[in-house]
Amino acid sequence: MDKQIDKTTIRRRQIRAALPWIGGAALLLAAGLWLIFSAEKSVKASDLTDGIVDRGPIETTINASGRVVPAYEEIITSPVESRMLRSFVRAGDSVAAGTPLLELDLESANTNMQKMLDSYRVMQQELVQLRLNNRTALSELAMQVKVKEMQVSSLEVELQNERHLDSLGSGTGERVRQAETSLATARLELSQLRERHANEQLRTAAAEEVQRLQLSSYEKDLDLTRKTLAQGRIPAPHSGCVTYILGEIGSKIMPGQKVAVVSDLTAFIIEGEVPEGNSNKVQPGSAVQVRVGRHEYKGMVESITPQSNGGSVAMRIQLDDPGAEGLRSGLRADLYISYGYKADVLRMPSGSFFKGPGEYRVFVYDGDSYLRRRNVRLGDSNSSYIEVLEGLQPGDRVVTGDMEYLVNNKSLKIKQK
């Protein structure tokens, strides 16, 4: 009688029978992986840029970045709080000086202008009234002075008469003393009136001057308001191209808000930024090599700001030819700012891989078929050359393009086609 085989034994036999197949599959997988990882990486010769290491001078530079901007650009702001009614131009339009750019709703400003005119007329009338009142007061004081002068003259005559009568024995000493007292009193009163009249002249003149100055100041405000209203259509300040125009019809505009920008696109400058750590090497007048796309230009540092912003220091580059071909507003510019000179150093051609002094892994030609990776240390640079401090020798042919995605490979095969 046959005995039934238990499940554990059956499973063990099945696993033992499958082991050769599993082992074969593992060997095939390992062989495939070995072929994949042992395959030599390669690059096309046409994709490589290279240069020869040699000895020679380097005018050391600092790398910086910037952008092309118009040399003459004016931001136009709203003179008053208003609303935009319509625009006469679009961004990109060329305009002449005085061309209306947009129209503002000036009804509220006109109302304020009329109120200011009314106030101005009231102030004018107040000044006229003040002058008339002052003249009346001064005239009355002058009349009082003249009356008192006449009284003094009369008392002087009376005193002379009393003294004459007293000398003849017809008068008395008492009457002479009374006449002298009356004359002295009148003279004091006359002096007081004259001083009061002089003080009143000064006071009235000062009051009129204050009122006149207030009127003059208000007149200046009125003239400014007139000019503001005259600019209600926002005229172009100079000939150029409209690079920005507020386009939201009916939108509320606050005083000082930017509504348009007019730029002269026939001349350009470079607004650049240099890392804060290198800013002490940059001075106004430093020569600059500017690279915009495929074009290169010469210029110099016109000014540099004294403060840092976000780790960078802003500067302004004046170009030797601000209207040169290839310059367009907004284009990115690579800047190479000269700050020193080395007469005889080991150098290699500049390349896109270089980000500043330090250690790099580069590929050097080994014949015409292979590239070998080499660790190097690089120093100062300019737009054409990089100083080699370690790792290369004169005559070495070095790949100057960015090979960062392949630097983990010790060698590369060069495919000629």
Least confident among 45-49, 59-63, 83-87, 334-338:
83-87
Q: 260 near 92, Cβ under 8 Å? A: no
For residue 69, the surrounding DSSP H or E stretch is: strand 61-77
pTM comes to 0.50
| Residue 178 pLDDT > 80 | yes
Pairing status of strand 258-275 against strand 50-52:
unpaired
pLDDT digits (tens, 9 = 90+) for 270-329: 999 988 877 888 888 888 889 888 888 999 999 988 888 888 889 999 999 988 888 888
Residues of the chain with CATH 1.10.287.1490: 108-230
- pLDDT of 4 over the 60 cut: no
* Alpha-carbon span 339 to 378, nearest angstrom: 18
The pair of structure tokens assigned to 40 is: 């030599």
% of the chain at pLDDT higher than 70: 86
Is CATH 2.40.420 what the domain over 43-59+342-415 is classified as, yes or no? yes
Q: Is the pLDDT of residue 30 over 70?
A: no
Cα separation of 11 and 189, whole Å? 145
Give tens-digit pLDDT for 36-60. Answer: 444 457 888 788 888 999 999 988 8
Q: How far is CA 204 from CA 131, 144, 197, 198, 210, in A?
A: 8, 18, 10, 10, 10
Q: Is 417 a residue whose pLDDT tops 70?
A: no
For the chain, give every residue range classified as CATH 2.40.30.170: 63-69+266-338
pLDDT top residue among 314 and 223: 314
Task: Specify the CATH number for 73-106+231-258; select among 2.60.40.1170, 2.130.10.10, 1.10.287.110, 2.40.50.100.
Answer: 2.40.50.100
Name the one residue in this structure whose structure tokens are 């209600």.
232
Q: What pLDDT shows up at residue 29?
A: 64
- The domain made up of 108-230 is a member of CATH 3.30.450.20: no
- Helix extents (H) in 169-306: 173-230
Boundaries of CATH 2.40.420 in the chain? 43-59+342-415
Q: Could you say which architecture CATH assigns to the domain 63-69+266-338?
A: Beta Barrel (2.40)
Across the strands, what pairs with 301? 317
The proportion of the chain whose per-residue pLDDT surpasses 90, expressed as a percent, equals 12
Q: Tell me which residue of 215, 336, 246, 331 sits closest to 286, measured CA to CA.
A: 336
